[in-house]
Structure 1
């Protein structure tokens, strides 16, 4: 299309008030990327979450630091992701920010894609230098790294460190006979030496108050 044709189209749009290109607005909160899932479009933090402030008891969720009404969450390159967070704390932190703890299905769709692509391949994810995992020559020797320190450990959509660095709490949407949440952790950690892919699940493997080397991300529908 020539410049004259483009001008003509713009004038026609103004006169007819139809068919006009609309400005593209941000579809996700800051720090999140837009994704397509089997349950519909959603947004996910591009990096594992860093929490500013104090956490409450592992089985009670999050305290509000300095009398604030919301915890301060951020997910940026160069930050060390928060670990030692229980499932309850992660769930509450996302909820207080107006989002939700990513569901297991959302996490899997972000990692593998809604059509089930193999990203990264198990061999690729555990290749030396690609993701923060302890590939065979370095069993349990790779330290926790700042988010985004492994630039090749990203999905085509721009989500980093889904495999490696920290395990991540997710919500499978299940409850036990007593009404307590049944938890799921996804991905792998910096010390992991056995390949865990996008579809690896560990539903019910921990009590929701467990607060080991596990982090999380938040999601929100769009």
Structure 2
């Protein structure tokens, strides 16, 4: 986890390990349970946006000017076709080849040190009392011109499971003995 201003966030999408393919095809309710089982919680929409924009409140994790190729995003909308018998062979190849390993895009890191906040996978967030569940950040299939640290979309249901959705967890600041030296609130 990396410290942000008032909370900590996983450095990478779940399972929060560099060089590993993040887990996708996760229901919102599964993401909530996984975070709770680790003594964390699903990040709120506000926490997620703050971790993405960093301490300087950038539009993108790395600054206010878009940098093509910095994050795992599409040049144009990527569409796959689902049929009654599954995916077409070409579309299976797309789904398997486009997601990147956690941290693979070295320039796609926020000022707090969280990787892949834009692109790679949409991420579930806790939208509080909203009727809808909110996905943040865009995915490898989202056109680059449509994303920013405030980019979000509503999922139709908490039981939405799809190839380009993952999540990461947040927590309050933890005591040094439980969290280690890298997740404590910085001293002023």
TM-score, normalised via structure 1 length? 0.64
Q: 1:167 aligns with which of 119, 122, 137?
A: 122
CA-CA distance at 1:192 after TM superposition: 1.1
Map residues 95-106 of structure 1 onto 2, 5 A cutoff: 95-106=36-47
Question: What is the aligned counterpart of 2:151 among 185, 197, 200?
Answer: 200
Q: Distance in 2 between matches of 1:160 and 1:98?
A: 21
Task: After superposition, give the CA deviation of every residue in 1:197-221 in whole Å (9 maximum; x if it has no partner).
Answer: 1112224x32000011210000001
How much does 1:96 deviate?
A: 1.4
- Unaligned 5+ segments in structure 1 are 1-31, 51-74, 177-181
**CA RMSD, 1 decimal:** 1.9
Inter-partner Cα distance in structure 1 for 2:152 and 2:32: 18
| Bigger radius of gyration | 1
Deviation by residue 1:45-68 (Cα, 9 ceiling, x = unmatched): 000002xxxxxxxxxxxxxxxxxx
- Inter-partner Cα distance in structure 1 for 2:71 and 2:56: 23
1:116-195 matches, within 5 Å, as 116-119=57-60, 120=62, 124-125=66-67, 127=68, 129-136=69-76, 140=78, 143-176=98-131, 182-193=132-143, 194-195=145-146
| Selected match of 1:45 from 2, 5, 10 | 10
Return 5+ residue gaps in structure 2 as ranges: 79-93, 174-188
Structure 1 residues 113, 93: CA separation in 2 closer, same or farther (over 3 Å shift)? same
Higher relative contact order (CA 8 A, sep 6+): 2
How many angstroms apart in 2 are the aligned matches of 1:123 and 1:189? Answer: 19
Seen in structure 2, the aligned counterparts of structure 1 residues 220 and 211 have a Cα distance that, compared at 3 Å, is same
Measured in 2, the distance between the counterparts of 1:158 and 1:110 equals 8
1:122/1:195 contact within 8 Å kept: no
Please state which structure has a larger fraction of its residues in strand: 1
Distance 2:47 2:3 in 1: 12
CA distance in 1, matches of 2:101, 2:56: 30
Q: Indicate if the aligned counterparts of 2:53 and 2:111 stay in contact, CA closer than 8 A.
A: no
Q: What SS class does the counterpart of residue 147 from structure 1 fall into?
A: coil
Secondary structure at 1:173's aligned position in 2?
A: coil
- C-alpha distance in structure 1 between counterparts of 2:140 and 2:130, whole Å: 29
How far 1:122 moved relative to its partner?
A: 7.2
Residue 118 of structure 1 deviates from its aligned partner by: 2.2
In structure 1, the partner of 2:34 is: 93
